[in-house]
Structure 1
Amino acid sequence: MSEKLFYQNPYLTKFTSSLVKQEQDERGNWIAVLRETAFYPTGGGQPHDTGTLNGVKVIGVEEEDGEVRHFLDERIEGAEISIHGEIDWDRRFDHMQQHTGQHILSAAFDNLFGYKTVGFHLGREESTIDLETTGLEESQILEAEKIANRIVLENRPIETRWVTKEEATLLPLRKQLSVNEDIRLVIIPDFDYNGCGGTHPSSTGQAGLIKVLGTEKEKKKTRVTFTAGERSFEQFSKKQQVVAKLTPLLNAPQEGLEKAVLRLLEAKEQLEKQLEEVKDTLIEFEAKELRAKSKKDEYTVAAVFKERPIQEMQKLARLVVNDEIESRVIFVSETDRKLQIVCAKGKVAEGNMKELLGKTLLKINGRGGGSEFFAQGGGEAVVGGQKLLEEMFENI
């Protein structure tokens, strides 16, 4: 079993070791196992470290059957001499900040409201904790945030301690242990006692600002999205850039942006309603014009359109057959190498629109449906719209 140096010193980023074995897996990926390593493998909600072994990139680290397996982007040459490893410190420290932020935030929700953390995920840009509660009040989030950042500002020491099961039972652990031996605790004195194998800084101050970004319900849990440290600074910077751009565009100060956006949305809704009314009026005129221009059959209105939304064709067809109960309608739209079809008939008109459409769809590998009076569908443009229309007119 490889000795896990990452447990002993998370600040260890350069080390020398020896190779136990180097092999390829079933997918052809090279894997190296060392006598001892400082690379952290994926586990406990925390992603793996990256870095290099003798200059070869380490792209993944997993612990399996007591071995820490380093996934490489190529074979290590000359590995029989010695292995020089180097951890990507920026990635490692970012994970240390996020994981410590999780401990502090989870403890804050637990200590204040008794909400237990039942899940943790450290993502690339944001992290999440799942709380055992069906909902959170905004005031609770703000209170937990306040306590969490106070613990950060107090710069309390973060201790790691190996204990026996008996010793662990004497401490106020935040959650039940998942192992009975080789128990490693991460402790923030008088605030949080938790079993954990992850990497953490030596003090809470190094976790940096902890900020809750949002919450959402997940079945019987509440998922809390947050950032810590450098990520919180990056989030603030991005949001500040957005605010700086919106302020002159909306002609409103930062505190007035919400009202300005709401006014815009209301105006947009009114304009869309007015536009829809105008379009309906135009479609009514268009329906009368199409009926008047129908030449092939005084009872059938047929037309081919370009890029016409099927919803508009449906409205147009209904207007025609409602005004003329003996009329029939066949509309075809040529849209992005596809054909869309709407066919309808009035209450006393002859023909079955569902059957007519069904025969047509077979020719264009299409799908659709409807009733005897109204049907719609679409398929491939294997023929032109005009030709398809003429064939339908003959079959009606």
Structure 2
Amino acid sequence: MKDLLYYQDAMIKQFTAQVIRTGIDYNRPFIVLSNTAFYPTGGGQPNDTGFINDIRVINVEKVEEEIRHYVEGDISSLDGEIVGVLDWERRFDHMQQHCGQHILTAAFVELFDFATVSFHLGNELVTIDLDTEIVSEEQLVLAEKRANEIILENRPIESKWVTKEELSNYQLRKDVSVDEDIRLVIIPDYDYNGCGGTHPNSTGQVSAIKILGTEKMKKNTRVSFVCGKRVLDQLGMRKNVLSNVARQLSVPEEHSAEALLKVLNGVKATEKALEDAQNKLLEYEAKELAANCKDGVIAAAYKDRTIQDLQKLGRAITAQNSMAVALFVADNDDKLQFIAARGANIEKSMKDVSSAILPLINGKGGGNDNIIQGGGEKLLSADELLAKMKNLFL
């Protein structure tokens, strides 16, 4: 493994090699070369892409003892010497993120003894899961500060192949998981770690690290961050969003948060006033319906009315009239919904209504003896379903 080009020099962008063989793997054409600078997926780092001659390399995987370059294109005439060209922007981005992960992980260990239990290098963000349930904002700030200090010092990054017996000579951050082909990635006097990934030549090439947030993951804490060019990409995206918000609010960017809070408070006040007005309208509607009560049953069918409205209406009516039963059906999009509510002096359980009605519409529902609600398919019209409900009280 140590003879592979991406291990000999991770900064190689172009190389020549011989075609060993070509093949098809589950309808995916692939090429095996005498050597390669294309990194295969592994150790948390995604594969490289690029070109072999004029054929696009879309994936690289280590299958048993060979590295397969999966391609888009005709490989039937491919033979002899080829030229491989890496998508360098992708490769260097991966090296920045992977090395940044080593640096940030080591900072959490050095400062707080928080070990990293998993690592993921995504298309936009990088995450590490720390072996702790709580990480304070102050700890995040200090770890980020320490990581960027290591970057600014532009320390060399070394790689070294060692035997299992030689591991005791190094203060490893965690135990290695292999017994052969053991490769250490070393930032002198800071981090010693077994790793098969590609890294830049110095910490300065990582450029910068920015922590973006955390979330609980069972008993661990997931830390999301970016390194290198991704820091600039995130800054640019957030700058555009902030500028747009400030423009919409007609305030300077630095006053956006305060102005947005005022808008949100205004929206909440408006929503509260609207809710109060709707409740008053429902109370008025309930009185009108109650006034037309016949035989103790108040029933109505509606078009496009929420189940929440029907519930409020039913409760308002039965609160006003302890001897009333309220039955309402709504035709909403592709389903029928209904409620049934009883006054305090009605003995019949509303669960009897749902038991009788739900099978008619292949529906589901819930509730208690006093009020039930449900919904299902439009196998009947709203008026037909309401008639079925009313018949239960004749």
Same fold? TM cut 0.5: yes
Give TM-score scaled by structure 1 length: 0.92
Distance 1:309 1:159 in 2: 65
Aligned to 1:233: 232
Corresponding residue for residue 356 of structure 2: 359
Counterpart of 2:323 in structure 1 is 326
Contact 2:2 2:8 in 1 (8 A): no
Shift, 1:205, TM fit: 1.4
Q: The residue matched to 1:149 in structure 2 has which SS?
A: helix
Amino acid at match of 2:136: E
Q: Where does residue 147 of structure 2 map in the other structure?
A: 148
Give yes or no for contact 1:317–1:329 (8 Å, CA) kept in 2: yes
How far is 1:324 from its partner?
A: 1.6
State the superposition RMSD in angstroms. 2.2
- Aligned equivalents of 2:34 and 2:68: distance in 1? 11
Give the counterpart letter for 2:85 in structure 1. Answer: E
Matched, 1:386 2:372: no
Deviates more, 1:332-341 or 1:266-275: 266-275
Measured in 1, the distance between the counterparts of 2:72 and 2:301 equals: 57
Q: Distance in 2 between matches of 1:56 and 1:291?
A: 78
Residue of 289, 306, 309 corresponding to 1:309: 306
| CA positional deviation for 1:245 | 2.2
1:69 paired residue number: 68
What CA distance in whole angstroms lies between the structure 2 residues aligned with 1:76 and 1:152? 43
Letter of the 2:242 partner, please give it.
V
Shift of 1:350: 6.4
1:16 equivalent to 2:16? Answer yes
Which residue is 1:283 aligned to? 282
Matched residue count: 393
Render the CA deviation track for 1:241-273: whole Å, top value 9, x for unaligned: 222222344455444433333333333333333
Distance in 1 between residues matched to 2:369 and 2:210, nearest whole Å: 60
* Shift in alpha-carbon separation, 1:3–1:22, aligned structure 2, 3 A: farther
**Residues 137-159 of structure 1: per-residue CA shift (max 9 Å, x gap):** 22222222222212222222212
After superposition, the Cα gap between the structure-2 partners of 1:175 and 1:372, relative to the gap in structure 1 and judged at 3 Å, is closer
Deviation at 1:99, TM superposition (A): 0.7
Aligned to 1:4: 4
Q: Is the alpha carbon distance of 1:74 and 1:309 closer, same or farther for their aligned partners in structure 2, counting shifts above 3 Å?
A: same
Identity %: 48
1:225 shift after superposition: 0.8
- Structure 1 Cα separation of the partners of residues 135 and 277 of structure 2: 45
CA distance in 2, matches of 1:34, 1:7: 15
Secondary structure of 1:36's partner? coil
Distance 1:202 1:45 in 2: 19
2:43 aligned counterpart, secondary structure: coil
Partner in structure 2 of residue 46 of structure 1: 45
Q: 1:1-396, aligned counterparts within 5 Å?
A: 4-25=4-25, 27-250=26-249, 252-294=251-293, 297-349=294-346, 351-396=348-393
Deviations 1:32-56 (A, max 9, x none): 3322221111111111111223333
TM (norm. structure 2) is 0.92
